[in-house]
Amino acid sequence: MNHRLLLAAPLLFCVLSTTALAASATKDAPVALADVQNFGSPFSDLIAGYVVSFDKEAGTFRIRTSGAHEIAVQLGSFVYGEKVRNLGESFVSPGADWSKTLTPGRYVYVYGISYPDANKAGAQLEAKRIVFPSDGNGKFEAV
């Protein structure tokens, strides 16, 4: 079996799909999340933005990106959060209660997987990891 081909296959798919997306984009009409979802297969993504709302019962929240897009996010079954830290520093958890950490106005980075055909509760992204760059007061202070 040719292992080089197996290792190159995902990269080739990534290059081909990126090329197809780039071909569909123009200067005035950039590639949108909906264009990527039209491929029909799951993909990983990183979205940064401000928390708009949190629904504890549904396990979902909405974030607004700097481009003013609102995105629905489903908390995955094994999602975890962490605070930003320097190299060599230990892992710092923001806490187990998402309702205290996902407060409106808080800036977050959400790493997750989009399942275009099987979105839960209308979510566009299933969160796997949420990174909090501040302590929640909206201020980014040097430590």
Q: Give the tens place of pLDDT for each residue, 11-49.
A: 334 433 444 444 444 555 555 555 554 556 788 889 999
Residue 138 placed within a domain:
no
pTM of the model: 0.66
Residue 140 placed within a domain:
no
Number of domains in the chain: 2
Which residues form the domain of 58? 42-132
What tens-digit pLDDT sequence spans the chain (143 residues)?
A: 444 444 434 433 443 344 444 444 455 555 555 555 455 678 888 999 999 999 999 999 999 999 998 999 999 889 999 998 889 999 888 888 888 899 999 999 999 998 776 555 556 889 999 999 987 666 555 54
Instruction: Report the distance separating Cα 60 and Cα 102, nearest Å.
Output: 10
Instruction: Report the distance separating Cα 108 and Cα 61, nearest Å.
Output: 12
Q: Is 128 found in the same domain as 58?
A: yes
Q: Which CATH number characterizes residue 122's domain?
A: 2.40.50.320
Q: Is 124 found in the same domain as 59?
A: yes
Nearest to 74 by CA among 37, 114, 30, 34: 114
Q: Is 120 found in the same domain as 63?
A: yes
- DSSP helix/strand/coil, 32: coil
